[in-house]
Amino acid sequence: MSLLLLLATVLSGPPATAGSHAPPAADPDAIREWNTIATDTISANLGATRPSGQVVIWHGFVSAAVYNAVVGIRGDYAPYKWRARGPATASPEAAAVAAAHRVLVTYFPASQAPLDAAYSASLARIPRGSAKTQGVAFGERAAEHVIDLREGDGRGAPVRFTTPPAPGVWRPTPPAYQPFIDPWLGTLRPMLLTSPDQVRPGPPPALSSARYARDVNEVRAMGARTGSSRTAFQTETALFFGGNLAVQIQAALRLYTARHHLGITETARLFAAANTSATDAVVASWDAKLHYGRWRPITAIHLAHTDGNPATPADPQWQPLLVTPPHPDHISGHAAVAGAVTRTLSGLLGTPRLDLTFFSEATGTTRHYAYADRLNEDMINARVWAGIHFRSADVSGCRAGSRIGVWAVTHYFQPLRSSHTPASPAVRPTCPQTGTR
């Protein structure tokens, strides 16, 4: 955006109310609006159905910048890896809009025209004056700080999965036989954790073990495209969580913050905490996928005669309900992201009662989850019933994500004022022990 356009945008809008020294009013709808814009922009640039966790990381970047822009002015919570403070008279709403816009146009320059149009429309609704001007300037600073933090973080690095095919080792799966997608995610610098392998779980069950046989035979029976043992509810569950989880989570968070009437600071904090922990869940998942390289159920069932386990008969005609994503099984990215987000929210809210409503474009249905563990239970089961993950990969993913959530709320997003209740991990576990229901 040119300097003249930026100045014109900043100075437009209704006049400010004179004579008040109170902090500028701020509508949290601005954060929800730009979360929607971010979702649409990411989908337009990466593809709405891309079978990779990459979609999640961009929400982490945008939400962190918006959070810093808002709390840097309001001062309620510790900024994310930043010490700067903005003017108390600045508009946090303008700051949030400017921060989201700057991050998105930096990483998705092909979408600059619609992003600039949305930016102008958002700022036009904020009263003109010094609060707006200061807010825009501070929001730009907050965005540039996050952009600088992410320089050289390993995005797009030439990482390769080089383990040769062998029993138990991942290899491209039908029907497209795509190579391992975005393997660099496994070496990406995390946003919250100290390293990608910080929460790496133990290895998957040994091929010769009874647990491995149970995993294989369960997914063979429950995850088959035809002739499965699934009920109609179980099939709907598999399909419900078979699409873009990032889109589902963002919509659920927007609905939650609006329904519970959260202010702009609490709204920014909730989005930032959820999305940065989700980003690290993707990094941790891909780290484990690269490290263990465990084959997917479709390969395990087709080649069961090679695994040395007499309890796993081969079925070369078996097909899963959903198409298998092009990356290894252990651990499940969906389960890890859900585990991280639910544990983070439980810690922020001080309760595992989350009151989240999810919508699925795949099924056209809505599900309400009162408690974190019920959401995670459905997520774990969904990936088994879809035929694309072993249960052990899902349970390990949820637990790794839960550890990330605990780390997030104990090391970041803490209150700076005694009037706020410090975030703490919820007492009730958010991951079910087995994922069966």
- Residues 361-408: pLDDT tens digits? 999 999 999 999 999 999 999 999 999 999 999 999 999 999 999 999
3-state DSSP assignment of residue 368: strand
Q: Is the pLDDT of residue 20 over 60?
A: no
| Residue 12, pLDDT score | 54
Assess whether pLDDT exceeds 60 at residue 143: yes
As a whole number of angstroms, the distance between CA 106 and CA 253 comes to: 24
pLDDT at 51: 81
- b/e burial code for range 178-215 (CB count within 10 A of at least 16 → b): eebebbbbbbbbbbbbeebbbbbbeebbebeeeebbbb
pLDDT at 209 over 90: yes
pLDDT tens-place string over residues 335-346? 999 999 999 999
pLDDT(25) > 70:
no
Share of the chain above pLDDT 70, in %: 90
Pair of tokens at residue 186: 């496994």
Separation between Cα atoms, residue 71 and residue 73, nearest integer Å: 5
Between CA 135 and CA 5, with CA 79 as vertex, the angle to 5 degrees is 25
Q: Which residue has the higher pLDDT, 434 or 170?
A: 170
Domains of the chain in sequence order: 23-149 (1.20.144.10), 210-411 (1.10.606.10)
Candidates 82, 125, 97, 79; CA nearest to 38 is 97
Using an 8 Å Cβ cutoff, are 284 and 199 in contact? yes
Stretch 129-134: mean pLDDT, rounded? 96
**Rounded Cα–Cα distance for residues 328 and 325 (Å):** 8
Distance CA 17, CA 14 (A): 9
